[in-house]
Amino acid sequence: MVPGEIPTGQVEAATHPPKPALVSLAKRACIKEIDQILLSVLNAGRKEVHAAIEKILKGWPGVTRDELWDRLRYLRDRCSQVCKGQTDWSEEHLAILRAYYAQGRAGAREGVKKLRMLRPDLSARSIRRQAAELGISTGSGRARPWSPEEQGALLWGRRRKARGKNS
């Protein structure tokens, strides 16, 4: 056997080079460019989001798909917290909202349509949220629980007699 030769049957442990220190995506120099791409598809459909992620993966090789999805979720959460309540409501728009919501659900639906025509930057959800904050929402509130008689009628097709203490 020659010195330095590994005898047959004995395998030396493979040594791998140490992995580079992991740097979070938020601390990388390219975060502004990546955020700009992700913000452009923040409310887009599934295909657009996947295309943007593929574009980032090709442009920045060290970034992983998991990091991008985490960053996208972070941006969505941050944007939804920051963007809520930033709409300035004029008295005219509030009067329209109150007038239409006073007519019931059909009126509320028409009010949302009218306000969206006047202010295209408002979403239907933000209009309904504003109505709820004003206390003029058309929601029926929390449903009451079913009574035992109603449950019996639903389950067995008949009215169940209420049991008294003597029966």
Clarify whether residues 120 and 71 are in a common domain: no
pLDDT recorded at residue 10: 57
Q: What are phi and psi of 18, to 5 degrees?
A: -65, 145
Cα 94 from Cα 78, distance rounded (Å): 27
Residue 151: both structure tokens together: 């449950």
148 within a domain of the structure (yes/no): no
The domain of 30 spans 26-83
Clarify whether residues 76 and 47 are in a common domain: yes
Distance of CA 154 to the CA centre of its chain: 36
Q: What is the CA radius of gyration of the chain?
A: 31
3-state secondary structure 58-124: HHCCCCCHHHHHHHHHHHHHHHHHHHCCCCCCCHHHHHHHHHHHCCCHHHHHHHHHHHHHHCCCCCH
17 within a domain of the structure (yes/no): no
122 within a domain of the structure (yes/no): yes
pLDDT recorded at residue 129: 87
Domain count for the chain, please give it: 2
14 within a domain of the structure (yes/no): no
18 within a domain of the structure (yes/no): no
161 within a domain of the structure (yes/no): no
71 within a domain of the structure (yes/no): yes
Clarify whether residues 97 and 115 are in a common domain: yes
Clarify whether residues 112 and 128 are in a common domain: yes
Clarify whether residues 103 and 76 are in a common domain: no
Clarify whether residues 69 and 98 are in a common domain: no
The residue ranking higher by pLDDT, 143 or 63, is 63
Task: Return the top range by mean pLDDT from 5-9, 137-141, 159-163.
Answer: 137-141
pLDDT tens digits along 60-118: 888 889 989 998 988 888 876 555 556 788 899 999 999 999 998 899 999 999 999 99
153 within a domain of the structure (yes/no): no
pLDDT tens digits along 115-125: 999 988 888 88
Once rounded to an integer, what is the mean pLDDT over residues 130-159? 80
Clarify whether residues 31 and 51 are in a common domain: yes
Q: Is residue 147 pLDDT above 70, yes or no? A: yes
pLDDT recorded at residue 143: 75
Cα 29 from Cα 24, distance rounded (Å): 11
Question: Across the chain, what does the average pLDDT equal?
Answer: 79
Clarify whether residues 79 and 95 are in a common domain: no
Instruction: Say if residue 47 is exposed, middle or buried (CB neighbours under 10 Å; 0-12, 13-18, 19+).
Output: exposed
pLDDT tens digits along 5-60: 666 655 555 565 545 445 566 666 778 888 889 988 887 888 999 999 999 999 88
Cα 61 from Cα 76, distance rounded (Å): 24
In this prediction the pTM is 0.40
Clarify whether residues 118 and 69 are in a common domain: no
Clarify whether residues 77 and 115 are in a common domain: no
In 129-165, which positions are buried (b, 16+ CB within 10 angstroms) versus exposed (e)? ebbeeeebebeeeeeeeeeeeeebeeeeeeeeeeeee
